[in-house]
Structure 1
Amino acid sequence: MPDALERWQVMPHGVLEEIDDGILTVPGEIVMPLGRFPRRMTVIALAEGGTVIWSAIALHEPEMARIEALGPPKFLIVPNRAHRLDAKIWKQRYPEMQVIAPPKARQAVAEVVAVDATDDIIGDLAIAFDLIDQKTDEFALRVHRASGTTLIVNDSIGHVRHPHGLGAKIMARLMGFGVKRPQVPRVIRRMMIDDPKALAAQMREWAALPDLRRIIVSHGDPITHDPAGELRRLAAKLEK
């Protein structure tokens, strides 16, 4: 798999689901030997018009039309250096879109697409950025709606309940991507996290949000059952 696609190439994906007012999410798959590994894109409508694209995935035209109907893409968030596969082709399609990447990921992301900022330039009061500052940092978002808060994280939590194909099943289990329940993937903990207690503290802060409704992860299913409890459980495991 290349670091970045050069043309609009649609890999297998599902349909966009509106999980809250102006928040769409769609599962996709990366084709790999003996299976397909799940990934996920999330789209957030801005109060003043337009949309934010989190961890871009090229979709078929009917689904792209749904995004454009919600609002033209104004910001593309590449949440860490590993999620730049579709960034270039999205920027080609929407050249006015601004690209945001975490500070430590800026150089790697800039190899495939110009980075406009490494912090929050969106300016929407309903969207709050968090930076998970580790070996390889990544963003998380808190999106506020009348019904509650949606937490969007990237690789720090996996919830791959339905890997497709033998290769994907082996990968998900060996690397600890949360086949049975949400998990900090073992491969991510080894390669990206140098301060588990700091990440645990961040998870406890998220768990304390009084209106936390769900967690969207970039690999796997959204966490909708007791998201605060799952965060506290993961924090306790990190602190051991």
Structure 2
Amino acid sequence: MIPYSHSREHNWLEPYEPIDVLKPAAADVWIVDGPEIEFGLGWLKVPFTTRMTVVRLHGGDLVLHSPVRHTAALQTAVEALGPIRYLIAPNSLHYWWLPDWKARLPSATVLAVPGLQKGAKRPVIVDMELTGQETPWPEEIDMQVVSGDVLTEAAFFHRASRTLILTDLIENFEPKRIHGWFYRALMKIGGVIDPDGKAPFDMRLSFFRHQKPLRSAVRRMINWQPERVIISHGRWYEADGVKELKRAFRWVL
């Protein structure tokens, strides 16, 4: 697999405008929809929309989950909410723009899944690996690390707002936002079309040898009783979080 790379000028996916702008999602939780990016798999370049989640901790510090493209205006807007203390690369693929934020925030702590620093196609300095089930903020945010043959992802649950934050474990592309029959057909085959988004078919196959720990991880997420589920690609779930988890992960439950 080829890492994330910058997309063509043409957007194959309609962006969630306005992009590069903070949007309230819940109490002390915001999202920022970013530009399209491409992921290369051999000769095929697959487009993805991007989304960052910002969480403000009780003390006022900010956590940036899966940072989108850095702009000076966006950084200024985010810093108006509080100091940016943590940058998270939540899975093996979601790190591309993190070094740009780190370059401008050298004192921020970088958290990443195991193996990212070695496998990343851009230099990423990792201060803390995400392992086990405890975050640096155990009173506020729970974590569940899920590992397959090709992907390791850390899921986060913000207790106060009952918000679950995922990246690629669920993808949910809206057909009306996909430009071109080829990509629409590709995503339909992959099983990531709204309203029945889930992990892509190839990712599901990669968990074949890890179904038992994955099932346990999903049950833990369900037990958190999330009200909303924020995902990185496509329409996220503003309500009925438990119902959506049971639907999206029925292939392993």
TM-score, normalising length: structure 1: 0.83
**What's the counterpart of residue 76 of structure 1?**
87
Task: Give the Cα separation in 2 of the matches to 1:188 and 1:204.
Answer: 19
Q: AA paired with 1:151?
A: L
**What's the counterpart of residue 22 of structure 2?**
16
SS in 1 for 2:232: coil
Q: AA paired with 1:207?
A: I
Once the two structures are TM-superposed, the CA of residue 28 in structure 1 deviates from its matched residue by 2.1
In the alignment, is the contact (CA less than 8 A) between 1:53 and 1:77 conserved in 2? yes
Once the two structures are TM-superposed, the CA of residue 49 in structure 1 deviates from its matched residue by 2.6
Change (3 A) 1:45 1:168: farther
Task: Give the Cα separation in 2 of the matches to 1:125 and 1:137.
Answer: 24
Trace 1:216-231 onto structure 2 (pairs within 5 A). 216-231=230-245
* Runs of 4+ with >6 A deviation: none
1:235 paired with 2:235, answer: no
1:155 paired with 2:158, answer: no
Per mean C-alpha deviation after superposition, the further-off stretch among 167-176 and 70-79 is 167-176
Q: AA paired with 2:188?
A: R
In the alignment, is the contact (CA less than 8 A) between 2:165 and 2:229 conserved in 1? yes
In the alignment, is the contact (CA less than 8 A) between 2:135 and 2:143 conserved in 1? no
In the alignment, is the contact (CA less than 8 A) between 2:155 and 2:166 conserved in 1? yes
In the alignment, is the contact (CA less than 8 A) between 1:22 and 1:70 conserved in 2? no
Q: AA paired with 2:36?
A: I
Change (3 A) 1:83 1:171: farther
SS in 2 for 1:169: helix
> Can you list the C-alpha shifts for 1:34-91, whole angstroms capped at 9, x where unaligned?
9952121101112223211111112444332221111222111101121121011111
In the alignment, is the contact (CA less than 8 A) between 1:175 and 1:186 conserved in 2? yes
Structure 1 segments unaligned to the other structure (5+ residues): none
SS in 2 for 1:190: helix
Question: Percent same amino acid at aligned positions?
Answer: 25
In the alignment, is the contact (CA less than 8 A) between 1:34 and 1:165 conserved in 2? no
SS in 2 for 1:236: coil
Once the two structures are TM-superposed, the CA of residue 214 in structure 1 deviates from its matched residue by 0.3
**What's the counterpart of residue 47 of structure 1?**
58
Task: Give the Cα separation in 2 of the matches to 1:164 and 1:205.
Answer: 33
Task: Give the Cα separation in 2 of the matches to 1:164 and 1:60.
Answer: 26
Per mean C-alpha deviation after superposition, the further-off stretch among 74-83 and 223-232 is 223-232
Once the two structures are TM-superposed, the CA of residue 4 in structure 1 deviates from its matched residue by 7.1
1:29 paired with 2:29, answer: no
CA RMSD of aligned residues (A): 2.9
Task: Give the Cα separation in 1 of the matches to 2:208 and 2:109.
Answer: 28
Structure 2 segments unaligned to the other structure (5+ residues): 39-43
Once the two structures are TM-superposed, the CA of residue 21 in structure 1 deviates from its matched residue by 1.5
Once the two structures are TM-superposed, the CA of residue 199 in structure 1 deviates from its matched residue by 1.9
Aligned residue pairs: how many? 231
In the alignment, is the contact (CA less than 8 A) between 2:135 and 2:142 conserved in 1? no
Q: AA paired with 2:234?
A: G
Task: Give the Cα separation in 1 of the matches to 2:173 and 2:36.
Answer: 13
Task: Give the Cα separation in 2 of the matches to 1:93 and 1:193.
Answer: 40
In the alignment, is the contact (CA less than 8 A) between 1:102 and 1:137 conserved in 2? yes
